[in-house]
Amino acid sequence: MGLPELVDFLEQDRETQLQVAGQKYLHPQAPRFLRLDLEERLRGVLRERGVTTFYSHQVMAIDLVRQGRNIVLMTPTASGKSLVYNIPVIEEVMDEPRTRALYLFPLKGLEQDQLRSLNEVSRAVGMGDIGDVYDGDTPAHRRKQIRDALPNVIFTNPDMLHLALLPFHRKWKEFFSGLRYVVVDEIHTYRGVFGSHVSQVLRRLRRICGHYGADPQFITASATIANPGMLASGLTGLPFEPVLESGAPSPGKHFFFFSAIESPYTFTTKLFVECLRQGLRTIVFTKSRKITELIYTWTMSYAPEMIDRISPYRAGFLPGERREIEQKLFKGELLGVVSTSALELGIDIGGLDCCILCGYPGSVSSTWQRAGRVGRQGQESLVALVAIQDALDQYFMRHPEEFFEKNHEAAVIDPQNRKIVKRHLVCAAAELPLRAEDQVYVMEDLAPAIGELVEEKKLAPGKRGGVWFPVERRPHREVGIRSIGERYSLVNEAGRPIGELSGGRVFKEAFPGAVYLHRGRQYVVTELNAERKRAVCREAKVHYYTQPLSIDTTEIITQREERCFGNLRFFWGDLRITQKVIGYDRKKISDRTRISTHELDMPEYVFETEGTWTVLDAGTKAAIEAGMHDLGGTIHAVEHTSIACMPLFALCDRGDIGGLSHTCFPDFNLPAIFIYDGHDGGVGLSKRAMEIAPEWLEATLRMIEDCQCIDGCPSCVQDAHCGNRNSPLDKSGARFLLKRWLEEYIGQTPPLSDSERN
């Protein structure tokens, strides 16, 4: 039994076919090769490892690196990207033993496979081990050994670079002065807040290198996104040569879309068990740690004979546990694994046969990244997307063909985010004083931020002018690069740390009475202390979850841009958002019904961000009301669904974006809809929305039109995180407004609904 038998079963079984929303076979693609000139020792070593030919993208990229260009390589999973940076680094070390390289990966653990591969080749050419890992899992005594006897290549992550290398650069003088290459892998993960922080960390790295006389070349690699060159340039502040055409082979793939009649989690479990019983090596990707553990537990119940052949994998496991699971997968000792996104990135787990996605991963790019985990050794594979009750999942169940036709999303960052820039300027000044003639920063553009930091007594100007010093010696630990704003600690009643939340999230996720999930455990928040920046929790086992109720308002600070699409105008600029949690609902986990409502007296949370907005003219307002549509419900529904559609155009989560709708916004005395970045200072998402407004509105209308519900549901206009309990919502009014905008204002023919096409 094997894959052909499984595909036959899925195609022939009557019950399964009732749940198939779409199916496509992706034909295999042949490889394309080019000749690569190599030093004979290195060629011989690679030949012994089975590398006798090189894909066209590898040769083109290596040639550009040899010419001294910064490159961004965007090719699919398992297309040999690591050779593109390992070959130039090994060549350089062979020619000049004092050469240094820095390899950056977004997460701890991704370095291990890459380190092993690099050192195996370097040993084989007679140089010994040239690389070592220096990250949060490296013991203190080992860190000192690495600093005292520097390897040619350091493997680390942006967090460690920010906290442990740059602040202590004098201890690393030999390394930074000889730094020839900086490799930044998986750059598509550097988006939003994290990417905006990393862009500042890399600018600080360039400053340190310049101080020691080095000007490293950047080699970056990405999964498929819409804007690799722009992202690489935004992250580093340097120009890049993109290499985008893959020459790697692509084995055939059977792609199934499933809209489960029963619970999607039950269907996923049964499909997983079927794959295992067919002897197929299978990975299941889930969207949460909790679902990961549940599917693993249910699989044990359905197939107890598999107890030693499958494992869960998620954040929260100890590093040793993760390495053990990875090795067992690679060696084939495990037949299946249930994982969160933790296994999406480039850990080598060998060739798998089947990939089951329990819930749309949130982007086309991420879906292909996960699908690339299977069929790695030329064999055909199966990818199954099982939809959950989410707007984007249901969108692709209704339009599976669009998944294959759709362009990949853009990865969006904002290197000019004022809050983030200011925090890193203080760190940069602590590393090397800021000077007017700085070679990395455009100091003229940073003058307002520096002025604010001087007023806030975080920077001190020098006596001679044109130079600024830090007030604190080590400000780095106050800057978490994966969030914006003040960080709140979550502790248990004994004061033991549980986790952290940013100030923007803590009021909506850790209010008194909130149920907070951490590492599969439930905690009930008993106290939120804004002054001490901490929330106290007690562990509990409850049958409900909590949803905050809030009152949000917005204020336009500055209008910076205006874009016209026909007669429809969109604006973009700076907003001030005020959020006040006034209570919360307790809801049953089983069916989401409300159990009780509780009032709260919480302080307001105010932050400034970027947003885009549009104003309804008086004629449109009158037309909505004349059509007997609820004005507030109409614009509220458009707000919700447009937010749900944003991940179709930008790599983001729904929670990265906020929205507000006003039936009579004071500045205009007319209705207005605001969509804003949900992070302090903004990260560029709302600007992306304004730039693609017609496509965005068309997708919003299509999501509403194609949903078969009458009054609105979670697959179209409802938002599970709405602070107003999804009230009011008018689905028919939203349809009317979007059609009017597209037909009469933009002059664009709206897409046909499913019923009109049929």
Q: Is the pLDDT of residue 675 over 90?
A: yes
Cα distance between residue 374 and residue 339, in whole Å: 14
Q: How many CA atoms lie within 13 A of 601 on its CB side?
A: 0
Average pLDDT, integer, range 630-647: 97
Q: Per-residue b/e over 356-392, b at no fewer than 16 CB within 10 Å? A: bbbbbbbbbbbbbbbbbbbbbeeebbbbbbbbbebbb
Please provide the average confidence, as pLDDT, over all residues in the chain: 92
Q: Using 50, 70 and 90 to split pLDDT, how confident is the model at 350?
A: low
Average pLDDT, integer, range 4-33: 95
Cα distance between residue 70 and residue 143, in whole Å: 30
Q: How far is CA 35 from the centre of its chain?
A: 36
Prior bond of 497 cis (ω within 30°): no
- Dump pLDDT digits (tens) for 418-464: 999 999 999 999 999 999 999 999 999 999 999 999 999 999 999 98
- 3-class DSSP assignment, residue 136: coil
Q: Sheet holding 534-540: strands in order across? A: 497-502, 487-492, 534-540, 521-529, 515-518
For residue 475, the model assigns a pLDDT of 96
Q: Residue 553 in contact with residue 662, Cβ under 8 Å?
A: no
For residue 109, the model assigns a pLDDT of 64
For residue 755, the model assigns a pLDDT of 53
Average pLDDT, integer, range 640-648: 95
For residue 78, the model assigns a pLDDT of 80
Q: Residue 243 in contact with residue 55, Cβ under 8 Å?
A: no
Instruction: Tell me the β-bridge partners of 609.
Output: 575
Tell me which H or E stretch contains 92: helix 81-95
Most confident of the following: 222-231, 233-242, 390-399, 645-654: 233-242
Q: Is the pLDDT of residue 519 over 60?
A: no
Average pLDDT, integer, range 601-625: 95
Cα distance between residue 195 and residue 235, in whole Å: 7
Q: Which residues have CB under 8 Å from 320's CB, separation 6+? A: none
The residue to which tokens 């076919």 are assigned: 17
- Supply the Cα-derived Rg of the chain in whole angstroms: 27
- Dump pLDDT digits (tens) for 110-144: 787 789 999 999 999 999 999 999 998 899 999 99
Least confident of 56-60, 99-103, 160-164, 401-405: 401-405
Q: What is the pTM of this model?
A: 0.87
For residue 1, the model assigns a pLDDT of 59
Give, in order, the Cα–Cα distances in Å from 517 to each of 240, 297, 525, 546, 679: 42, 18, 11, 11, 22
Tell me which H or E stretch contains 424: helix 418-431
Average pLDDT, integer, range 146-164: 96
Cα distance between residue 124 and residue 48, in whole Å: 10
pLDDT over 90, % of the chain: 78
Sign of the torsion angle spanned by Cα atoms 284, 286, 289, 294: negative
Angle between helices 693-706 and 631-645 (to 10 degrees): 110
For residue 648, the 8-state DSSP code is: G
For residue 635, the model assigns a pLDDT of 98
Q: Residue 688 in contact with residue 650, Cβ under 8 Å?
A: yes
Average pLDDT, integer, range 36-57: 96
Average pLDDT, integer, range 212-226: 95
Q: How many CA atoms lie within 13 A of 37 on its CB side?
A: 2
Cα distance between residue 62 and residue 64, in whole Å: 5
Q: Which residues have CB under 8 Å from 346's CB, separation 6+? A: 77, 105, 110, 113, 114, 185, 186
- Dump pLDDT digits (tens) for 535-591: 999 999 999 999 999 999 999 999 999 999 999 999 999 999 999 999 999 999 877
For residue 330, the model assigns a pLDDT of 81
No. of H helices and E strands in the chain? 26, 30
For residue 306, the model assigns a pLDDT of 92
pLDDT over 70, % of the chain: 96
For residue 186, the model assigns a pLDDT of 92
Q: Which of 750, 734, 737, 685 is nearest to 568 (CA)?
A: 737
For residue 574, the model assigns a pLDDT of 96
Q: Residue 602 in contact with residue 511, Cβ under 8 Å?
A: yes
- Dump pLDDT digits (tens) for 461-496: 999 889 999 999 899 998 989 877 777 889 999 998
Pairing of strands 100-104, 179-184: parallel
For residue 720, the model assigns a pLDDT of 85
The pair phi, psi for residue 671, each rounded to 5°, is: -65, 150
Cα 22-28-31 angle, rounded to 5 deg = 150
- Dump pLDDT digits (tens) for 317-349: 666 777 788 888 888 889 999 988 877 665 666
Q: Per-residue b/e over 401-429, b at no fewer than 16 CB within 10 Å? A: eebeeeebbbbbbbbbbbbbbbbbbbbbb
Cα distance between residue 359 and residue 387, in whole Å: 5
Burial of 170 (0-12, 13-18, 19+ CB in 10 A): exposed
For residue 668, the model assigns a pLDDT of 96
Neighbours of 349 (CB within 10 A): 23
Cα distance between residue 110 and residue 121, in whole Å: 18
Average pLDDT, integer, range 169-178: 97
What secondary structure does DSSP assign to 565-578, as a single string? Answer: ETTEEEEEEEEEEE
